[in-house]
């Protein structure tokens, strides 16, 4: 808008001077400037309709403080264009507050780094298209975006499992691939008959094909003995997620299946993800980072107890918005910004 005002002001000044001095040459100059402005804007409107641009991140996963490549592409289809284009970007962190504005003068590959964990959206919000003189321009909204997931660094905790946790029984959809169990709906394997085996467990069809009795072994469900309950309203969600990630990874690392659960403001429901291995751990982290920060606590403990009241869980870990960790209602640790990793490494927990 300001460039239009400046152009009109220059034209009016030239016309005013031509009237005062009665100069035909100055008047013609004013008409020439006016014609140039009109033709420039006609040209820019044509360019504006045919401009294209895009943004992409070849590697969409990063670590805090590490550079990641962002590719900005753009051009004009079917029209000869000699002007320049400025790209205006907005950087959003879904977990954080506010946004950052970035201005780029040309297309190409740029290195960007992100100091905190989160799911970042980098959006080309608009472009400025300049005429060949670089004086007049038009703005166009674009709204092209890409996402970068910055994963938290997980500190190793000292986690020990009790015999009760190691031998925890319960219903599950995942079965142990090492030990047989009690669930007749899934078969673990078949083995020769031994003293103490029940007659009902004999696999009669397979036994008929062999020279000895064969026994069916049932599978053992790998039930989750622990759950980590998460809030979405901590003042520093980056540090909060770091603590959750460290607990989940360390518990997973000692072969203890567990759930991570939180109330989703996006789905208006409890989200619960089972963590057994690194793949499921990263799935959980990605879902957690995609959530938005809430303004107040969701009372996830009572909501979870109500939803899963018929389920048997030995260990409930809850990290409140003040970074205090509770184990079955008992405070076991409190974490402070700036020293979180060191405090996590010194944490010992018995499940």
Across 79-83, 85-89, 95-99, 263-267, least confident range: 95-99
Strand 61-62 relative to strand 137-150, pairing: parallel
Which pair of structure tokens corresponds to residue 291? Answer: 């959530």
Region of residue 262 (left: phi > 0; alpha: psi -120 to 50; beta: else): beta
- pLDDT band, very low/low/confident/very high, at 116 (cuts 50, 70, 90): confident
DSSP alpha helices (H): ranges in 210-271?
Answer: 237-253
Percentage with pLDDT > 90 across the chain? 19
Residue whose C-alpha is closest to residue 335's, from 326, 76, 93:
326
Give pLDDT, residue 205.
59
Closest CA to 318 of 305, 328, 308: 328
Could you tell me the CA-to-CA distances from 210 to 189, 202, 213, 217, 321 in Å, in that order?
16, 13, 8, 17, 63
Q: Say which range, 1-10, 12-21, 154-163, 193-202, has the weakest mean pLDDT.
A: 193-202
**Nearest CA-CA partner of 255 in 334, 351, 191:** 351
Query: Would you state the structure tokens that stand for residue 197, as one six-digit string?
Result: 């085996």
Q: What is the pLDDT of residue 295?
A: 81
List the chain domain ranges: 2-48, 51-150, 158-162+223-350, 176-221
CA distance 135 to 343: 57
Whether 229 has a pLDDT exceeding 70, the answer reads yes
H or E segment and range at residue 181: strand 175-192
Count CA atoms closer than 13 A to 208's CA, side-chain side. Answer: 2
- Local structure of residue 131 (DSSP, 8 states): -
Say what the pLDDT of residue 276 is. 86
Q: Measuring CA to CA, how many Å separate 140 from each of 1, 44, 156, 200?
A: 13, 11, 49, 76
**Does the reported pTM lie above 0.85?**
no
- Per-residue confidence band for 192, with pLDDT thresholds at 50, 70 and 90: low
Q: 108-112, 206-210, 215-219, 255-259: which has the minimum mean pLDDT?
A: 215-219
Helix, strand or coil, per DSSP, at residue 275: strand
Per the model's pLDDT, the better-predicted residue between 222 and 141 turns out to be: 141
Q: What is the pLDDT of residue 325?
A: 94
Q: Which of 120, 341, 344 is nearest to 247 (CA)?
A: 344
What's the pLDDT at 201?
59
| pLDDT value, residue 7 | 65
Interatomic CA distance for residues 258 and 161, integer angstroms: 13
- Mean pLDDT of the chain, nearest integer: 80
CA distance 319 to 310: 23
| Average pLDDT of the segment spanning 281-292 | 88
**Domain at 51-150, CATH homologous superfamily:** Immunoglobulins (2.60.40.10)
């Amino acid at each position: 808008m300001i460039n239009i005002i400046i152009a009109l002001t220059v034209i009016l000044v030239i016309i005013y001077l031509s009237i005062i001095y009665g100069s035909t040459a100055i008047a013609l100059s004013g008409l020439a400037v006016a014609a140039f402005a009109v033709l420039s804007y006609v040209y820019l409107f044509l360019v504006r309709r045919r401009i294209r641009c895009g943004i992409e991140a070849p590697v969409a996963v990063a670590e805090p403080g590490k550079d990641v490549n962002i590719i900005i592409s753009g051009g004009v289809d079917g029209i000869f264009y000699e002007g320049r284009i400025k790209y205006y970007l907005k950087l959003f962190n879904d977990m954080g507050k506010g946004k950052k504005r970035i201005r780029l003068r040309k297309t190409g590959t740029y290195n960007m780094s992100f100091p905190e964990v989160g799911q970042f959206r980098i959006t080309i919000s608009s472009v400025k298209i300049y005429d060949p003189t670089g004086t007049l321009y038009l703005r166009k909204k674009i709204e092209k975006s890409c996402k970068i997931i910055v994963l938290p660094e997980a500190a190793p905790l000292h986690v020990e499992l009790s015999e009760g946790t190691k031998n925890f029984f319960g219903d599950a959809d995942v079965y142990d691939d090492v030990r047989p169990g009690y669930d007749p709906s899934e078969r673990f394997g078949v083995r020769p008959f031994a003293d103490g085996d029940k007659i009902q467990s004999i696999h009669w069809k397979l036994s008929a094909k062999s020279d000895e009795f064969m026994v069916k072994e049932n599978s053992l469900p790998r039930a989750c003995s622990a759950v980590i309950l998460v809030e979405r309203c901590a003042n520093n969600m980056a540090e909060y997620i770091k603590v959750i990630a460290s607990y989940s990874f360390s518990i997973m690392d000692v072969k203890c299946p567990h759930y991570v659960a939180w109330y989703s403001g996006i789905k208006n429901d409890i989200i619960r993800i089972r963590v057994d291995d690194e793949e499921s751990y990263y799935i959980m982290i990605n879902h957690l980072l995609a959530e938005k920060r809430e303004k107040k606590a969701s009372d996830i403990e009572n909501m979870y107890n109500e939803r899963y009241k018929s389920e048997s869980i030995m260990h409930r870990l809850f990290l409140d918005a003040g970074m205090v960790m509770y184990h079955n209602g008992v405070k076991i640790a409190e974490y402070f910004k700036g020293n979180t990793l060191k405090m996590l490494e010194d944490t010992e927990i018995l499940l």
